[in-house]
Amino acid sequence: MGENTQELADHGPCSHHRKLLNCSLFALFTLSLIYLIFYSSPSSSFASYANLFNQFKTQRSPKNNSLPPPQEWLQCDYSDGKWVWDDSVTGPRYDSENCDMKSTEKCVINGKPDKGYLHWRWQPAGCNLSALDPAAFLRLVRGKHLAFIGDSTARNQAEALVCHLSTVAQPETAHRYEERLGRKFWRWVFPAPHNVTVSTYWSPMLVRAEGHSEDYAMAQQAVILDALTEPWAADVAAMDVMVISAGHWFLRPAMYYEDGEVVGVYSRPDVANKTDIGYLGVYRKVIRRALEHVAGATSLAAGGGEKLVVVATIAPAHFDSKYSWNHRDACSRTKPFEEAEAEVAAKDAEMRTVVLEEVAAAAAAAARRRRRQRWGVRFEALDVTRLATMRPDGHPGPYLFAHSYDLRPVPETVANDCLHWCAPGLVDTFNDMLAKMIVAGAG
């Protein structure tokens, strides 16, 4: 007992003079931590603690390149915050008139009279979110392929990014595949010295779907749950940054197939002999299969490689329930919702939770693989549901064509877009957040 006690004393944290400096640093850190926890304001104590911890960890621990980089949310939760008016914004970030994007997103050119949507800036609760710097971004992703996969929200985000980057470098359109529904597959290349490729892959359900997604005249969908769509699923190994956005199409009536058999339906009262299994379990299964496919395809790629996979949570539409979808006031609000007004709808909240849970599970599995292989995939969630819910003013509304109503009032009955986002506009915030995620893995 005496020998063990003496040994413990000899190996205590402050038993030798040569450890005095380490002891002092440890005591200083402990006292600082106690002060932060008990004397700082509740709103700042966690952020301050996280910063101090990161500094201490950097000073005390060697960098372990076999582990994934720190999760961005440890430094700042970009999903939590508020929209603030920014008078420093003197004009659009880029000129949409001379940019390669779908014309219905060009709200400035189309004559949307309210320009406030250009001035609202997202202010996270615990930090600042700087605007994407196009020149710095191109340097950051030099030589890489960025792929936006899924529904029209993914395309909306990709087109906004390309237009923003076009302010400093002119891209070449390498491939177009456009049908009646429009812009199914698009690829831009920013030539040397950038050598950056940006692609969009139209796949609104990520798996094979026949029906409304291919022909709007058809009311229902036939969804094959065990068949990921081409070409995105085949191109995974060549993608360095993937942004997956899918959600809205899962809320449509559908019949689900797996292994060649009908396994259920959703919102199909015309099919009385099949069980309505809802949409949420199907959504989870598809997201999980997509992420598992990405992880597997990356592992099989020659030489492996680092890949960032970002899954966006649903960005909701804002069709005002007081009006029909084709009323001119279906989405005519000119300001963001106040905090008390911005309640996330139940379905949107459920789908957001699915994405956060599946991304977390994929990230945990990827971290285990990285420890063995020292390379792999980093999974992140682009959590935009709350910030997008607060912005009913950010949609094109009836302003879908260039100068449509310059000389006449908007008729009472008119086509409306209360789902997609004006560009420039709120959609650029998605790319601001994406840039932070890429930076987090570049160190």
Q: With contact defined as beta carbons under 8 Å apart, do 345 and 277 qualify?
A: no
* Active-site pick, 151, 348, 393, 417: 417
Q: How far is CA 79 from CA 76, 98, 334, in A?
A: 9, 32, 22
**Mode of pairing for the β-strands spanning 185-190 and 196-202:** antiparallel
Taking the C-alpha atoms of residue 13 and residue 74, their distance in angstroms, rounded to an integer, is 29
The encoded tokens of residue 398 equal 């009836």
* Active-site pick, 79, 96, 152, 245: 152
Taking the C-alpha atoms of residue 328 and residue 276, their distance in angstroms, rounded to an integer, is 35
Alpha helices (H) in 111-171, listed in sequence order: 134-140, 152-165
Torsion of CA 357, 363, 365, 366, to 10 degrees: 160
Taking the C-alpha atoms of residue 248 and residue 228, their distance in angstroms, rounded to an integer, is 17
* 417 catalytic residue (yes or no): yes
* 420 catalytic residue (yes or no): yes
Taking the C-alpha atoms of residue 342 and residue 236, their distance in angstroms, rounded to an integer, is 37
Work out the number of other CB atoms within 10 angstroms of the CB of residue 14: 12
The encoded tokens of residue 6 equal 């003496």
DSSP 3-state of 404: coil
Measured distance between the N- and C-terminal CA atoms of the chain, rounded to whole angstroms: 49
* Active-site pick, 164, 212, 327, 420: 420
Looking up tokens 């290349």 gives 189
Torsion of CA 223, 228, 232, 235, to 10 degrees: -170
Taking the C-alpha atoms of residue 175 and residue 180, their distance in angstroms, rounded to an integer, is 17
Q: With contact defined as beta carbons under 8 Å apart, do 221 and 209 qualify?
A: yes
Taking the C-alpha atoms of residue 105 and residue 199, their distance in angstroms, rounded to an integer, is 18
Taking the C-alpha atoms of residue 151 and residue 248, their distance in angstroms, rounded to an integer, is 8
Taking the C-alpha atoms of residue 322 and residue 442, their distance in angstroms, rounded to an integer, is 47
Catalytic residues: 152, 417, 420
